[in-house]
């Protein structure tokens, strides 16, 4: 893939758990790296969840190879259009080392689904 096709600046985020005062756990995400990526939509679907229709959109996000990226991570894409700030969160469902050559990773992601 030509580097010129990676036009989206994204943040790779890693989860961490900490105890809350009620004895439970709180999951927070911290930035691991900021990098350029290509984001390609793959399709979408709707499922019935809790008596509500929930939309799911799938994407392939291609980044340069990094060690230790797992499906517990997520990708944050924040951008500005027309003076307004937007952000999109992609939950990683699968990580593929393209061609097993340690050059690129395909991150198969969903958007619109709580983790």
pLDDT by residue for the chain (115 residues), tens only, comes to 666 789 999 999 999 988 888 888 898 999 999 999 999 999 877 777 777 777 778 999 999 999 999 999 999 999 999 999 999 999 999 999 999 999 999 999 998 666 5
Q: Do 94 and 105 touch, CB atoms closer than 8 A?
A: no
Size of the chain, expressed as the number of residues it contains: 115
Residue 99 φ/ψ, nearest 5 degrees: 65, 10
3-state secondary structure of 5: helix
**How far is residue 108 CA from its own chain's centroid?**
8
Residue 24 CA to residue 95 CA, distance in Å, equals: 29
* Radius of gyration, CA atoms only, the chain: 16
Q: Using an 8 Å Cβ cutoff, are 37 and 18 in contact?
A: no
Q: Model's pTM, two decimal places? A: 0.84
Cα separation, 89 vs 77, in Å, equals: 6
């Amino acid at each position: 893939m030509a580097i010129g096709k990676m036009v989206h600046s994204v943040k790779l985020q890693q989860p961490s758990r900490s105890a809350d005062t009620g004895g439970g756990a709180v999951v927070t995400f911290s930035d691991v790296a900021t990098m350029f990526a290509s984001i390609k939509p793959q399709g979408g679907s709707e499922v019935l969840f809790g008596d509500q229709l929930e939309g799911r959109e799938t994407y392939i996000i291609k980044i340069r190879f990094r060690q230790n990226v797992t499906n517990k991570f997520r990708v944050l894409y924040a951008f500005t259009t027309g003076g307004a700030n937007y952000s999109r969160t992609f939950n990683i469902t699968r990580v593929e080392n393209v061609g097993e050559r340690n050059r690129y990773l395909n991150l198969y992601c969903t958007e619109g689904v709580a983790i």
